[in-house]
Amino acid sequence: MRGRMPGGRGGVAIGLGGLVVLGVASLLLGQDLITPFLGGGGPAPGSMAPTGAPSAAVPANDEMTQFVSFVLDDCQGTWRGILGARYRDTRLVLFSGATSSACGPADAGTGPFYCPGDENVYVDLSFYGELQRRFGAPGDFAQAYVLAHEIGHHVQNVLGTEARVRAMQRADPSRENDLSVRMELQADCYAGVWAHSTSRRALLEDGDVEEAMRAASAVGDDSIARMSGSRIRPETFTHGDAASRMQWFRIGMSSGSVEACDTFR
């Protein structure tokens, strides 16, 4: 991922590391130093400190901490632009080993998750190593996809989708898994909407989209079943198969539209 100075073909490109440095400088100075390099559409001045602050359990100067904080701020800037005053920021809680949330305790085996009870996104950074080693999905944009998916769940909470779906699940438990899959696929589509924004702002490099698609495929229910040696049983799926997850990410990225992400029709 990269940022580019506005001003025509002769603009100055800076790498992801440069953007991270600018993000840290923005935090220290209380000024938005990133937006000029992104060509607009970034976070509003002063928005970075509350939204990108990691938990105290993880060093703030860690390279991965800086990366996910940058992705969080950029993703939330995109959703502010789309939803306007309806959008409220989520917080990123980075932890090592174990943590607690309004949705209960979590550890490294839980994986990244969003808790509607406290509206926080929780990430144990060791998961990204698992994503590369165990799931065969390396790359910074694969990592960005995972975080953008969890922020997609926050968007569902903001729009009231999460509450409506939980009510439908309680009313008809036989549809619980089907509705869960539709929720997850919509979050994949919302991750694609953010990716559409990064593409329009020329932040993507060659291979970034492929990294995200590999990650979406790797965390499909059928892919995980094969990896664990289990029989593939679609009726037990809760997140969607690999093909569906890639498809809905692609729909979000090609359209850039919230309306195109209606997985419930």
Could you report the per-residue pLDDT of 91-125, keeping only the tens digit for each?
999 888 889 999 999 887 888 999 999 999 999 87
Section 187-203 average pLDDT: 96
Of 14-28, 164-178, 214-228, the range with the lowest mean pLDDT is 14-28
Which tokens belong to 47?
Answer: 């928005």
Distances (CA, A) of 57 to 62, 69, 107: 11, 15, 13
* Residue among 101, 37, 22, 102 nearest 67 (CA): 22
pTM over 0.85: no
Would you place residue 7 in the very low, low, confident or very high pLDDT band (cuts 50, 70, 90)? Answer: very low
Tokens of 149: 């998916």
Which tens digits make up the pLDDT trace of 154-183?
Answer: 999 999 999 999 999 999 999 999 999 999
CA 34, 36, 41, 43 torsion-angle sign? positive
| pLDDT band at residue 24 using 50, 70 and 90 as cut-offs | very low
Residue 228 to residue 232: CA distance in whole angstroms: 10
Q: pLDDT: is 135 or 152 the higher one?
A: 152
61 pLDDT band, cuts 50/70/90, is low
The number of folded domains in the chain is 1
The answer to whether residue 211 scores a pLDDT higher than 80 is yes
Cα separation, 68 vs 63, in Å, equals 9
Question: CB within 8 A of 129, min separation 6: which ones?
Answer: none
Q: What span, in angstroms and rounded, lies between the C-alpha atoms of 217 and 211?
A: 10
Tell me the residue range of the domain where 67 lies: 2-261
> What integer is the mean pLDDT of 140-156?
94
Q: Which two tokens stand for residue 2?
A: 């990269």
pLDDT exceeds cutoff 90 at 245? yes
Structure tokens at 131: 């994503």
- Residue 58 DSSP code: S
